Amino acid sequence: MNEAERKLIMQRISDFVKRRPNIIFWIGDMIYFREPEDLIAFFIQKKFRVWKCPAWRFFCSESKESTAQLRFFYEIIVKWRGGDLKLVTGNATNYSGHGGFDKQVMEFFIQEILKLPMEDRPLNYLLEELVGKIREEIDQEMERACTDLLRGTKG
């Protein structure tokens, strides 16, 4: 990365602070953001501290014929109210203009600003984690509904 690209990325990151982060969902200890810039804005606005553990880069192929076109999702674990909070985002690619820039910005943020190592995993790891969190949330809702029914109250 040359100095001009580095300055452009730093300018974009400083612009993110002004934006309102677009959160797709917050379930348990995981927040999923629409774009990498939303995750970065949320991180900077909340002044999180990160655990010195690797950031995860999950990947999947966009094409059945080739593994050259990849889509990337990222997860950073931060300290939050006495526990861990996982910040997750996607929509980065290695082949398109905007998606490629998202990849460049997110990886610069992780490696150059947060100084975290990054480890790769296939996307199914993230999907299994999401399914587990959704299942856990549904189980809690079902338990509350059953308790309300047994008590004879509406929930």
- 19 contacts 41 by C-beta, under 8 angstroms: yes
Mean pLDDT of 127-132: 90
Condensed to tens digits (0 to 9), the pLDDT of residues 52-77 reads 789 999 999 887 777 788 999 999 99
Round to whole Å and give the CA distance between 31 and 9.
24
Q: Where are the domains of the chain?
A: 3-123
What pTM, to 2 d.p., does this model score?
A: 0.80
User: In this predicted structure, what is the pLDDT of residue 3?
Assistant: 85
